[in-house]
Structure 1
Amino acid sequence: MPASQAWVVLAQAHIGDDTTMDQLAPHVRSWPARSRWARAIDGLAVLATVGTDVALRHLLAIEENMVGGPTNERAVVYLTQAAALRGLSVTQLADRLVRTHGLDEGITLDYGPRTFTVVTDDHLTAYAVGANGRRLARPPKPGVKDTRPEAYQRFLQLKKDLRTTAATQIARLERDMLEHRFRPAADVAAVLLPHPVLGPIVRRLLWAEYDAKKRVVRALRIAEDGTFADLHDTTAIVAPDAPLGIVHPAELGADLAGWAGLLADYEILQPFPQVHRPVVMLTEAQRAATSLAGPGPLPADRADRVVARGWRGDGFHTSGRPHSQLAHRLPGGLTLLVELDQERITEIWVDDAWSSHWQLVRRTPMGVCDPSALSELLVALES
């Protein structure tokens, strides 16, 4: 780690291969916690410069587990540049780098005298199928006549790897919903549905077509034949370049109950809470108002927990004083403000992100807020 040897990391951008990237990535993850920020940024640059699937897969995984700051921002820049070299957005790049674990080519467990085929269900649980077509939760343990007993351990490892990949991708897709990450509609049929891991996940989610201002045009589900269907179960024609996103329930308005009922009719179990997600939707009167009445008490200990989840409080400026205001950034250059008095929320309002938030007259209608981001923050206050 001497500073004079920093060139060793940078050199891997020119002489390293995928094996080197596998060795480098754990170090890059650990360096920020050891205050090696500059070295971590060098490592991120190396991964982006090498630009192979393996290197970019590591870079994506590192960025997704960061919690903000200059290093995180640099990782996003590198990812954006690497994706642009392939003519893709970061979201599209991430879709294409998801591991298939060999399921796209088919997996056979070869014991020698007997073989088993591996299949997965809609929830990505792996099963072994014998020659008689019988599905087994796992293949039988190798016997004395089996010449390749290592196949059994291969199956157990595959099940573990599939659970890890599925959990990672479900979490990523939930972030896609919360952060309004879009894909062209053509990618759903060409990239997501054929993928053996992503396909079973995205089929169980609700999607929406968005306009240029990131407003929902219409909500859609993926039908059994891979086409899109609307709330009335009518086939919907979507332009290949139309931006599609995983829709937040707060964006569905009065249609939310209908979509929840439709998914229940089809017995679709969603991979993360979507139509049954806790949600706050403003009435028309609330959307026109420039503030909302406080929903109730917010004890000091719970206010501290809210601050720990990304809000900014003002109670730490004076020792021992409780928070009198909480703030959280909203998309579009806005900030959500929560006024507190005697551990009660007295008012919720919106201001420009750059403002000092001192003015007494509220100017911004609540309806200009991104409905999904606002809902998530209001639910966090009430829960």
Structure 2
Amino acid sequence: MAETCRAGSSAGFAWALFEEWRQAGLPAKESWILHALGVLGDDGTVRRLTPVLRDWPGEGAHHRAVEGLDVLAAIGTDVALLHLHGIAQRVKFKALKVRAQEKIAEVAEHLGLTAEQLADRLVPDLGLGPDGTTVIDYGTRRFTVGFDEQLRPFVRDGDGRRRKELPAPGARDDQELAAAERKRFTALKKDVRTTAADQIRRLEAAMVAQRTWTAVEFGALFVDHPLVRHLAGRLVWLADGADGTTTAFRTAEDRTFADVTGEAFVLPGNATVRLPHPLHLGEQSAAWSAVFAEHGILQPFRQLDRPVRRLTPSEADSNRLHRFEGCTVPVGRLLGLTKRGWERGEPLDNGIERWFSKRLADGCHLVIQLNEGIWVAVVGEYSDQTFETVWLDVAPRDHLGSRHEYPLRFGELDRIVASELLADLEEVTAR
């Protein structure tokens, strides 16, 4: 059937059936309708389905949400896999998030990649050309649409003049074509905002995790990508040469590279590239800040002026952070840490989450014992949470006072991991 239908019509038909199924209360005997989206669906289906999947666990339909992950994988386009990866990274229902992570890992393993390497390759170009623009065709009029360094849309008319926004279709325009093209422009702007937010988060996480790319990967995934190159140009990068040399550089609008003095830099083909933390740049951070200020470059996240924190000698020799114990924190501010990789504890008696944690390395977690704890049924019931104990453990679990061995010490942590951890805790406990 799909081969004989007009583009998009089979996807529209499948979605109409899906909506009827939802209205009927998701009857199990008709669940084939959900899976039909995986056969007939397209990128538009993905954009409609993803918010539904994110909400289903809260509506008592967790099983359906898990099935929906299979639908995204079955559609299999870059956009579908990108949305699947987004659920794996950011969804409030932990079980769905874990299953999405497993699904992404399955796809990545099949391709011989890690989940993050797959995500690098899934960043959509959204139909933009190599120069980062696309043409909106009204029939009698054509407009060039692109995005500036902050990924804000701009429009130029047929004479190259810049307009404030895309105009509404006029009487002389092809009404059907113009309406479709205007709809495409609206979807494009939304997709760019979503893509930019996701990539900013991923780039910041890559800096903290010290991920590296080959010179070839850096060129293909960052410098030449019609959207990501704008973000890459607002950051400082570090090239580690095979000869042991290390050079900090930035990318210019013409895709050339320059060091902190403005001298041209040629990236060696055998180099590896990473995003440096201020702890790597040292005194160069101030010099790079001056360069970016001179060129009016606003960073997508705090890199050069990022807070740098250090453990005290006594903390480095301990598995406790006493300075944060006894602090009282609004529960909303605490939950905000989940956007930075922190996780809520398992609900225990009466559905109370008694701890909060962050994985720092394999077999190493920072755990916070909470008082009164977060009540799953009514998160705001205990509006303030007191940090009873803050410690390192091999796994998130209840109270430090129980009989366990605690061999881990903060001094064993990577200095960037320790700095980021302390910055998180200082921010969340600030008055």
Confirm or deny a common fold (TM above 0.5).
Answer: yes
Structure-2 residue corresponding to 1:259: 288
CA 1:305/1:289 → structure 2, altered by over 3 Å: closer, same or farther? same
TM superposition shift of 1:331: 1.9
Q: Is the 8 A contact 1:219 1:247 kept in 2?
A: no
Question: Is 1:82 aligned to 2:107, yes or no?
Answer: yes
| Residues 63-82 of structure 1 mapped to structure 2, 5 A cutoff | 63-67=88-92, 69-82=94-107
- Structure 2 distance, partners of 1:49, 1:308, is 33
Aligned AA for 1:204?
R
Structure-1 residue corresponding to 2:298: 269
| Residues 1-383 of structure 1 mapped to structure 2, 5 A cutoff | 1-3=26-28, 9=34, 15-18=39-42, 22=46, 25-67=50-92, 69-104=94-129, 106-148=133-175, 150=179, 155=185, 158-208=188-238, 218=246, 220-224=248-252, 226=255, 235=265, 237-240=267-270, 242=272, 244-282=273-311, 285=313, 289-290=317-318, 294-295=322-323, 299-302=327-330, 305-306=333-334, 309=337, 310=342, 328-336=358-366, 350-353=392-395, 357-358=400-401, 364-383=408-427
Q: Is the 8 A contact 2:325 2:389 kept in 1?
A: no
Q: Is the 8 A contact 1:21 1:54 kept in 2?
A: no
TM superposition shift of 1:270: 0.8
Aligned AA for 2:146?
V
TM superposition shift of 1:189: 0.6
Runs of 5+ consecutive residues of structure 1 not aligned to the other structure: none
TM superposition shift of 1:298: 5.2
- Structure 2 distance, partners of 1:248, 1:178, is 7
CA 1:360/1:165 → structure 2, altered by over 3 Å: closer, same or farther? closer
Q: Is the 8 A contact 1:109 1:117 kept in 2?
A: yes
When the two chains are superposed, the root-mean-square deviation of aligned CA atoms in Å is 4.5
- Structure 2 distance, partners of 1:230, 1:286, is 39
- Structure 2 distance, partners of 1:153, 1:326, is 44
TM-score of the pair, normalised by structure 2:
0.67
Count of residues in Structure 1 that have an aligned counterpart in Structure 2: 371
For the residue of structure 1 that corresponds to 2:296, the secondary structure is coil
Q: Is the 8 A contact 2:240 2:246 kept in 1?
A: yes
Identity of paired residues, percent? 34
Q: Is the 8 A contact 1:95 1:191 kept in 2?
A: yes
- Structure 2 distance, partners of 1:368, 1:270, is 31
TM-score of the pair, normalised by structure 1:
0.74
Q: Is the 8 A contact 1:209 1:218 kept in 2?
A: yes
CA 1:4/1:93 → structure 2, altered by over 3 Å: closer, same or farther? same
Higher helix proportion, which one?
2
Runs of 5+ consecutive residues of structure 2 not aligned to the other structure: 1-25, 372-384
